[in-house]
Structure 1
């Protein structure tokens, strides 16, 4: 985290569910340990799954979802773990189809009105759900979701480039995207169709999400093969530019004008330094290079001319 901050990064993202709330604890500790001024950093966290939903049978039934109860109590718990008075951004980590949208909008506005968050947004919501939240907010004279946090990378791009297209001009929606490297696949480390040692899939295979990916990898799941095919396809482009595949993948996401911030993760300081070099790659991505990447990936979304004009 300090390596990122020293390189100019000032936005750090957490969630109540990450490592059972421990990511928020570490975030708060880092701010104090390194003596960062609170006004110099932008801190976000996300509400939905709770921090203890899986801690014991029968526990957590009121700390999952987007009820007013969980949004308020979840925010209070997150601030306590971080030892902060407020966060800059608070996200609804997933949509909650069991809670009325008006309740959700009112609850997040309550957090803003009480000074516990400055802005609220969504993560992995559909465009219609975001529009619905805005309709409710406009009707009530309240603040709608100003940002969305979706997955976006050279492999996974349909939602950001097509589904969300009407949201950008209508609501000014900004994106803080995650998984720019598609779990490491776009770095080329899995191009030989084996899991190398000292990689995320090798060292963290007991994690529920990671174990699922490892299982798909071992079965040569079509999704995994597709990831590898695209990674191999962009390698010649990266080589021609004299950059790594990972730097090319990060720069490609940054190039999108609707992206406000690219969230990255790292398990080693060296990875942070390497990722920062992507900023130098962005100017190299001419339209010709972008067209090359589109052709190599073979998955550019087809826009409906009747819908988007």
Structure 2
């Protein structure tokens, strides 16, 4: 299939020279579980035809079945390998055992090779450390991922849900030893979850040019407004009760804090519909995409219709003027507080800080 960007905006992946689409397709909670066979092909084909040429995965998604499904579909659709960007992540493995997960050199090397076999590929474009591993020396982690890059099994490596000090340590080791440093962080970022991506990582964006591949930008569906009046039986929170974090999220909606979130989402829904002429889900995706530190927004769609609907967020991004963003902040009331200046006078807003 011939690739056409179809007007999809592209950004640099963090500090690397790799260009990635502003919206990408992920396999978490969908591909290999609720989406199997021909529907996977329909989903990926539609994404590709609408400018999405980046596909995100992990060894643990559906215990490896997500990689198997994506790899099969890429082969069957005849995507030219140089036209697409494929990512995967290592940490939990597909089986339980002392050396079958984590970030030891053994699992990083063996896990990478196993992922490539499932994907039916010689290399991935980016490989992520799916979590940090405090039981492994950081030097071993950096050396192992550098080995993977040097062998050509991945072009870049990144982190996912790492603390800022852990990313800082990895960079320090890489610089000191002349190894490959992580170029990107994959983190949760949405209107209800902001502290880490907007405050904790602030120094890393400036110092290392780090960017993010943002996931859960709809807060597991909360920001679509579908839970404003309860949990529908066909929704993710109803279907995936075997995932403890989704069960906890569903249970929390009945609490005072949960109802406070729903109240904010109802206000955002009114703003989106009355002032922007869009759905609240479009607004939520556009809001994350507008952040200059976002390299790509990962969409998790269960069907073609959902994917196409999410892509309407592209039309909303230009509508997010400073005035609209200020109204959003007024509704959310959760903007991370910057670090204190202890009374120091403000610097010129247009100079270097």
TM-score by structure 2 length?
Answer: 0.82
- Indicate the residue corresponding to 2:120 in structure 1: 83
Report the alpha carbon displacement of residue 5 of structure 1 after superposing the two structures with TM.
1.2
Q: Select the residue among 42, 55, 66 that pairs with 1:12.
A: 55
Q: Is the 8 A contact 1:186 1:227 kept in 2?
A: no
Cα distance, 1:267 vs structure 2:
0.9
- Tell me the alpha carbon deviations over residues 44-70 of structure 1, each in whole angstroms, 9 at most, x when there is no partner: 0000000122xxxxxx22112100001
Task: Return the match for 2:81 from 35, 38, 60.
Answer: 38
Q: Which of structures 1 and 2 has the larger relative contact order (alpha carbons within 8 angstroms, sep 6+)?
A: 2
Name the residue aligned to 2:313.
Answer: 278
CA distance in 1, matches of 2:163, 2:210: 13
Please state whether the residue corresponding to 1:90 is helix, strand or coil.
strand
| TM-superposition CA deviations, 1:103-150 (whole Å, max 9, x none) | 000000000000000000100001111000000000001111100001
Cα displacement string for residues 209-234 of structure 1 (whole angstroms, at most 9, x for unaligned residues): 433333434xx245533432321121
Task: Classify the secondary structure of the residue corresponding to 1:183.
Answer: helix
Q: Provide the residue aligned with 1:230 in structure 2.
A: 264
Aligned to 1:241: 276
The aligned residue for residue 303 of structure 2 is: 268
- Asked if 1:22 is matched to 2:59, the reply is no
Pair 128,285 (structure 1): closer, same or farther in 2 beyond 3 Å: same
Structure 1 match to 2:208:
171
Relative to structure 1, is the Cα distance of residues 196 and 287 closer, same or farther in structure 2, using a 3 angstrom cutoff?
Answer: same
- The 5-angstrom pairing of residues 1-309 of structure 1 reads 1-53=44-96, 60-192=97-229, 194-217=230-253, 220-239=254-273, 240-306=275-341
Equivalents in 2 of 1:155, 1:214: separation in Å?
A: 15
Determine if contact 1:233/1:297 at 8 Å carries over to the other structure.
no
Count the aligned residue pairs: 300
Q: Which residue of 1 aligns with 2:6?
A: none
Alignment check: 8 A CA contact 1:188 1:232 kept: yes
Gap runs ≥5 in structure 1: 54-59
Q: What SS is found at the alignment partner of 2:341? A: helix
CA RMSD of aligned residues (A): 1.5
The 3 A distance-change label for structure 1 pair 224 and 2 is farther
Distance in 1 between residues matched to 2:242 and 2:168, nearest whole Å: 38
State TM-score, norm by structure 1. 0.94
Structure with greater helix share of residues: 1
Give the Cα separation in 1 of the matches to 2:190 and 2:133. Answer: 25
Cα-to-partner distance string for 1:176-232 (whole Å, 9 max, x where unaligned): 01000000000000011x111321112232334433333434xx2455334323211
